[in-house]
Amino acid sequence: MRRLITGTVFLLFSTFSLKAQYINTDSLVVIPGFEMPFTLAGYDSLRFASPETEILPGQILYQSHISTGKLLSGFFLPSNGKVISRFGPRNGRMHSGTDIKMNRGDTIFAAFSGKVTRAKYHYGYGNMVAVDHGNSLETSYSHLSDFLVDVDDFVEKGQPVGLAGSTGRATTNHLHFEIREGNKPFDPELVFDFENAVVRKEVAKKYNLTELSRDQIITGYSVNESVPEKYIVRSGDSLWNISRRYRTTVNSLCLLNGLKENSVLQPGMVLKIYEENLNKF
């Protein structure tokens, strides 16, 4: 009888009290009701995402933050190919992403896990998919020929989200890829080496895009100088050398600042480098 009581108590404790069973303390956790085991970091993240409620078996959870550790280390290349237009000012306006040459119908992949917030035609972007990854991090994939996801879908990194095309303002089949933090666009080439189809190794050392951009430490990347919206003229500056430095044109600088090509710049003058056009996708 004593053994029977002991066995019954143990069974009840196991069924109702146990939150997670560690099957390998270095890697995985089994949570009752879930088919797949979780990493320890993933389990901690689930607990953090819902600290005051029970994790329901089979529940699909959208985390409001990306799991602990170096935040950027989990990026996945959305596509690879030749860069045909870089991030930065272009003809007096801000080109807030990177254009990658693609063939029509090529598969485009999610760069990080997250929730789809847009999957429809969006002005000059054409057919666009936007994904919210939490932690103020968002990515978008534009000029698609077709969608492979719907709004409110939860996608895993590396999951197909669309097919390349030339919808919207596009003269050739390509992917216009944007990555934003707090709705501020950052240069995708700080994160990805598209032509060699790799995530830059320095990315894994950083917690966010602001830190990555500030440090500017990527070896061999020659166009990583931050582009300010406005520039303070220094002694010896000319419209020509400013335009060369920030990859714009003298004509664009003149139009933005009410100048002529032969205007003399005075130290301390404030010039607009580009016209900000940062509509939230």
| Structure token digits, residue 70 | 């170096």
0.75 exceeded by the pTM? no
Distance between CA atoms of residues 121 and 165, nearest Å: 12
In the predicted model, is pLDDT for residue 139 greater than 90? yes
In the predicted model, is pLDDT for residue 221 greater than 80? no
> How does pLDDT run across 141-200, given as a tens digit for each residue?
999 999 999 999 999 999 999 999 999 998 899 999 999 988 888 889 888 988 888 888
More confident residue, 217 or 147: 147
Least confidently predicted of 112-116, 183-187, 219-223, 236-240: 219-223
| Structure token digits, residue 270 | 């404030």
Distance in angstroms between the alpha carbons of the first and the last residue of the chain = 67
Distance between CA atoms of residues 50 and 118, nearest Å: 25
| Structure token digits, residue 269 | 């003058």
Burial of residue 115 (number of CB atoms within 10 Å: 0-12, 13-18, 19+): middle
- In the chain, the amino acid numbered 269 is M
pLDDT at 15: 44
In the predicted model, is pLDDT for residue 52 greater than 70? no
The per-residue pLDDT of the chain, averaged, comes to: 75
What is the pLDDT confidence band of residue 225, given thresholds at 50, 70 and 90? Answer: low
Give the DSSP H or E segment for 209.
helix 209-215
| Structure token digits, residue 244 | 């060369």
Q: Where are the beta strands (DSSP E) in the chain?
A: 21-24, 28-30, 38-39, 83-85, 88-90, 93-95, 98-101, 107-109, 114-121, 127-132, 137-144, 146-147, 154-155, 160-163, 174-181, 184-186, 192-193, 198-199, 230-232, 270-272
pLDDT at 70: 57
In the predicted model, is pLDDT for residue 7 greater than 60? no
pLDDT at 20: 40
Q: Which of 125-139, 197-211, 260-274 has the highest mean pLDDT?
A: 125-139
